[in-house]
Amino acid sequence: LPEGLDSLTSVITYQHGTIFKHADAPSVSFDLFGIAVAAQGMIAFVPDYIGFGASSSLFHPYLIAESYALPVADMIRSGQEFLNKKTIQTNDNLILIGYSEGAYATLAAQKEIESNPDLNISLTAVAVGSGSYDLQLTTETVFQDSTYEYPAYSAYVMLAYDQFYGLQRPLTDFFQEPYAGKLETLFNGINDGDDINSELTMMIDDLFNPVFKNAFLDAGEQDFKLLMTENNLTNWKPLTPTFLFHGTADNLVPFANSQMAYDNFVLNGSTSVTLIPLVDRDHETALLDMVLEINNLIPRL
């Protein structure tokens, strides 16, 4: 909350990017984006995802759509109850914002909120950046290259899908040794992304089991691909004004994710979606540009 609120203000619900350490959960540590929002005179809600905070005994269901909607909706309703209890009035603007995993979480929550009137949540605008909305597309792109700069992301996906869906596949199905034997201990809630990356390799052909990789790129692994398709966030019709930001030079999450989402949203009849390419920006540098664009956007809502 900003100090000394003397006028009606907007509420921003911010869904954070990928974290690995339990100590980095918003309910445990200060979120810099939330602080920045409050510094500009707005109210920030920053939810924990499943697997962090009160549910840290669970493995985080990374990029599995159904796991995000409820935490975000609960955060919004709990936050609104808090504001009512403290007799803090707002201008009724509720804006969802997310980047990277947070972008995926935001669209998953938006989709559920718009399709479920029982939640009784009205959105003003949604702004997302550089999300992996089509995980099969992202995985195929990673597999078609020789290196990937952040292998912890790919490992996170495989572990989460295996655990959440009870596949019970040996990790050697997905990864080669010595990496397969390390992964479960690396994702222990203590290590951060740099710690995990340092124990893996950026070389795709060294990290992944070639049988799995080649089958995924060909006609195999249909069951695994189906799970990814079920979590695809590109095939629906957003109703709320939605702004899709993405760096055209993104080295971790291909720009094609946002292009495909935009194209499909328009084909499905949405007239409220805008694609904003951040030219020559990669996954790290696009975030600042997105924040600056949003700062200009919010006063016009």
Annotate 116-143 with b (16+ C-beta within 10 A) or e (fewer).
Answer: eeebebebbbbbbbbbbbbbbbbbebbb
pLDDT for res 298:
80
**Is the Cβ–Cβ distance between 152 and 193 less than 8 Å?**
yes
CA 166-167-170 angle, to 5 degrees, is: 120
CA-CA distance, 235 to 260, in Å (whole number)?
9
Q: What is the CATH number of domain 11-134+234-300?
A: 3.40.50.1820
How is the chain split into domains, by residue range? 11-134+234-300, 135-229
For 152, the 3-state DSSP assignment is helix
Name which of 90, 92, 99 is nearest 14 in CA terms: 99
Tokens of 278: 């951040």
Mean pLDDT per block of 10 residues along the chain (301 residues) reads: 65 95 92 65 91 97 97 95 91 95 98 95 97 98 98 98 97 98 97 98 98 98 98 97 98 98 98 98 96 84 70
Residue with tokens 């920030």: 44
Handedness of CA 259, 265, 269, 275 (dihedral sign): negative
pLDDT for res 68:
97
In whole angstroms, how far apart are CA 179 and each of 56, 152, 158, 174?
24, 11, 13, 10
For 191, the 3-state DSSP assignment is coil
**Is the Cβ–Cβ distance between 11 and 95 less than 8 Å?**
yes
Q: What are phi and psi of 172, to 5 degrees?
A: -70, -15
Strands 273-278 and 11-15: unpaired
Neighbours of 71 (CB within 10 A): 20
**Is the Cβ–Cβ distance between 168 and 162 less than 8 Å?**
yes
> C-alpha 259: how far from its chain's center?
17
Neighbours of 97 (CB within 10 A): 24
**Is the Cβ–Cβ distance between 200 and 239 less than 8 Å?**
no
pLDDT for res 33:
66
Write down the pTM of the prediction: 0.95
Name which of 71, 65, 66, 69 is nearest 25 in CA terms: 71
CA-CA distance, 145 to 238, in Å (whole number)?
32
Q: Match domain 135-229 to its CATH number in 1.10.260.160, 1.10.1040.10, 1.10.220.150, 3.40.50.2300.
A: 1.10.260.160
